[in-house]
Amino acid sequence: MTKKRELIELDDVVIRFSGDSGDGMQLTGTLFSNTAALLGNDIATFPDYPAEIRAPQGTVGGVSGFQVHIGHSDIRTPGDLADVLVAMNPAALKANARWLKPGATIIYDRDNFTPKNIQKAGYKEDPIAEDRLQDFNIIPAPITSLTKEALKDMNLDMKTVLRSKNMFALGMIYWLFNRPLKYTEEFFQQKFKRKPEVVEANEKVLKAGYYYAETIEALHSTYVVKPAEIEKGVYRNINGNTATAWGLIAAAERAGLQLFVGSYPITPATGILEELALRKDLGVITVQAEDEIAGITTSIGASFAGLMAATTTSGPGLALKSEALGLAVITELPLVVVNVQRGGPSTGLPTKTEQSDLMQVLWGRNGESPVAVVAASTPANCFYYAFEAGRLALEHMTPVVLMTDGFLANGSEPFKIPDMEKMPEIKPPIVPEGTEDYMPYKRDPETLVRGWAIPGTPGLEHRIGGLEKDKNTGNVSYDPANHEEMTHIRAEKVAKIVEDIPEQKIEGEQEGDLLLVGWGSTYGHLVSAMEELAAEGKKVGLAHFNYINPLPANTDEVLGKFKKILVCELNLGQFANYLRMNYPKYEYHKLNKIQGLPFTVAEIKDEAKKLLEE
């Protein structure tokens, strides 16, 4: 059917779909990513959208974007700069012009580049010239009018017609990258089972875009990106929020407990609650509570009652949970708290990513109130760190905070499906019926973990609560020496988790001139920067932390192996300060960014090179 032109093989390509927040760019990007993943490409995605559901149309502030990086080799980031931009209006071009590779392909909806829209976006009259894009591969496509044309016989209202123009753009991109339409068509058939006219309209427009791309002369060549050479196995595409939800369910399964999640919706954490609410088939109890305080306190109640309990939120919600988190600390009940960070303070930048809640998580409570903290570093490994948070909470009888962020939550990548049999079995210290002389705060002398006596068990009736407890009997105690001892015990119990977590790895050079240090979602960008620097002959290593409290046992040793240390994080230096507090003998250089955006690999390399040359 198609007369193919020159076929060019690419190692990787970055595509950015961009339009008004009502243009369906998130769906378009997701559908493209899913197709790429199913064809075996490695992928990384970065949805970037405004906080408003329908932000002011046609303005730069209202632009919603979805960037996807697909490749034949290991893909670690959504890419700094795009090879292809789809711009549904002038504002989308304006917002993204500076994030393009030189000579990139720009496909834009010519019909929307009216003088009025051009000015609304902040241009005078000629966007291409004003942004100096003349040398780029510019494809002005009449997307709106051809969408209307494709649907003219269908008798649809104009709103429905316009809503499907994103499929025209997607069709063009599918042609450009030699992708089958099959998976996307299947998606529509599934999603709109009861609305055959919607299925038909979307398929028609998708094909119209595909054939249009084929016909026009502007596209000289098409591209293939071969399947990635990645580890053998069964894969699926997954985003960070779903991976987090599934990791929690997996932990409950390996512990043989029902999962209870009390939560209150908040961007960007809501997806976890939504996913868990679907999983009644696996026995998950979700309570959409009246507020975040009820979210955590219902979960504490469920934990007291003997279930695996978790609560999910973002920074503002964590602030509301802080008093109750202290209650979980003093009652020594297992609880996972997921904090999907976003830009702060206050409501801040709800839909943008940031790592600025570290200090809040570590210390944002009254009293000496230690919690264990772990951080996921890729969308897919949210699964493993959610599982790990569950394991540590249940086996060490402590609240554990899992930190992710907006970038991980919404970003997706291929996930090698684990063998559940090989996931560790989780063994909470449940006190068996018939235990003589049970006392609630009696502990394992090695781990300092107390036993978990579940209401309903005859003979283990006991009372716990927020008042200080006698270290043996668990009765309320105001004894000064007892309080001091209990304070130390609680701290030591969490510190002892260090014996139950892996040592810190160094990637790249094992010793040398510069150690890049990061934690959480910056992993992809940091490891890419490290590898590129290594390829240029630099003696650089990367220590990327997933265990934040306690820090791995060999942290001091790791930091000591390099001449310089550069701590890179999306805040003003919280992890650097934390390391300095724990290991004051080193000098910590900092690379900080606080724009609601991830690092670019180039930014990290530039800073690293500057330090290497000093």
Partner 1 sequence: MSTEENKVVYTPKDFKSDQEVRWCPGCGDHAILSSVQRTMAQLGIRREKYAVISGIGCSSRFPYYMATYGFHGIHGRAAAISTGVKTANPDLSVWTITGDGDALAIGGNHLIHAVRRNVDINLLLFNNRIYGLTKGQYSPTSVKGQVTKTSPYGTVEPPFNPGELVIGAKGKFFARTIDGDIKLSVEVFTEAAKHEGTSVVEILQNCVIYNNGAYADITNREHKEDRQIVLRDGEPMIFGKNRDKGLVLDGMQLKVVKIGENGITEKDILVHDSKVNNPGLHMMLVNMKWPSHPVALGVIRNVAAPTYDTAVHVQIEKIKEQSPIKNMTDLLHSGNTWVVK
Q: Which residues bind partner 1 (CB under 8 A)?
A: 34, 37-40, 183, 227-228, 230-237, 246, 249-250, 253, 258, 260, 262, 279-285, 287, 289-291, 293-294, 297-307, 309, 323-324, 327, 331, 417-418, 420, 455-467, 475-476
The nearer residue to partner 1, 49 or 304, going by C-beta atoms, is 304
The nearer residue to partner 1, 249 or 506, going by C-beta atoms, is 249
Element (H, E) at 387: helix 382-396
Residue type, 453: A
Query: What's the closest the beta carbon of residue 138 comes to partner 1, in angstroms?
Result: 35
Reported for 599-604, long-range contacts at CB under 8 A and 24+ positions apart, including other chains, are 599/522, 599/525, 599/526, 599/568, 599/570, 600/80, 600/81, 600/525, 601/77, 601/80, 601/525, 601/528, 601/529, 601/532, 602/80, 604/516, 604/525, 604/526, 604/529, 604/568
Distance (Å) of CA 386 to CA 335, 389, 392, 463:
12, 5, 10, 30
Query: What's the closest the beta carbon of residue 167 comes to partner 1, in angstroms?
Result: 19
Q: What are phi and psi of 455, to 5 degrees?
A: -50, 135
Q: Rg (Cα) of the chain, in Å, rounded? A: 26
Residue 349 gets which letter from DSSP? B
* Bridge partners, 46 (sequence order): 67
Query: What's the closest the beta carbon of residue 82 comes to partner 1, in angstroms?
Result: 25
The nearer residue to partner 1, 132 or 463, going by C-beta atoms, is 463
Between CA 183 and CA 200 the distance in angstroms is 15
| Residue 44 near residue 75 (C-beta atoms within 8 A) | yes
Query: What's the closest the beta carbon of residue 39 comes to partner 1, in angstroms?
Result: 8
Query: What's the closest the beta carbon of residue 507 comes to partner 1, in angstroms?
Result: 23
The nearer residue to partner 1, 262 or 512, going by C-beta atoms, is 262
Query: What's the closest the beta carbon of residue 300 comes to partner 1, in angstroms?
Result: 6
Q: Please tell me the total number of residues recorded for the chain in this structure.
A: 614
Query: What's the closest the beta carbon of residue 354 comes to partner 1, in angstroms?
Result: 29
Query: What's the closest the beta carbon of residue 7 comes to partner 1, in angstroms?
Result: 23
Query: What's the closest the beta carbon of residue 76 comes to partner 1, in angstroms?
Result: 17
The nearer residue to partner 1, 220 or 463, going by C-beta atoms, is 463
The nearer residue to partner 1, 245 or 506, going by C-beta atoms, is 245
The nearer residue to partner 1, 60 or 300, going by C-beta atoms, is 300
Q: Which two tokens stand for residue 438?
A: 């049970």
Query: What's the closest the beta carbon of residue 417 comes to partner 1, in angstroms?
Result: 5
Q: For residue 491, how far is the Cα from the chain centroid? A: 30
The nearer residue to partner 1, 99 or 383, going by C-beta atoms, is 383
CA neighbours within 13 Å on the CB side: how many for 460?
20
Query: What's the closest the beta carbon of residue 221 comes to partner 1, in angstroms?
Result: 27
| Residue 263 near residue 312 (C-beta atoms within 8 A) | yes
Between CA 296 and CA 310 the distance in angstroms is 8
The nearer residue to partner 1, 148 or 365, going by C-beta atoms, is 365
The nearer residue to partner 1, 172 or 336, going by C-beta atoms, is 336
Between CA 499 and CA 520 the distance in angstroms is 21
Between CA 266 and CA 346 the distance in angstroms is 13
The nearer residue to partner 1, 300 or 497, going by C-beta atoms, is 300
Between CA 239 and CA 227 the distance in angstroms is 20
Between CA 550 and CA 558 the distance in angstroms is 15
Q: Maximum Cα–Cα distance for the chain, whole Å?
A: 86
Residue 107 gets which letter from DSSP? E
401, exposed or middle or buried, with CB in 10 Å at 0-12, 13-18, 19+?
buried
Between CA 583 and CA 310 the distance in angstroms is 32
Between CA 521 and CA 77 the distance in angstroms is 10
The nearer residue to partner 1, 68 or 118, going by C-beta atoms, is 68
Query: What's the closest the beta carbon of residue 460 comes to partner 1, in angstroms?
Result: 7
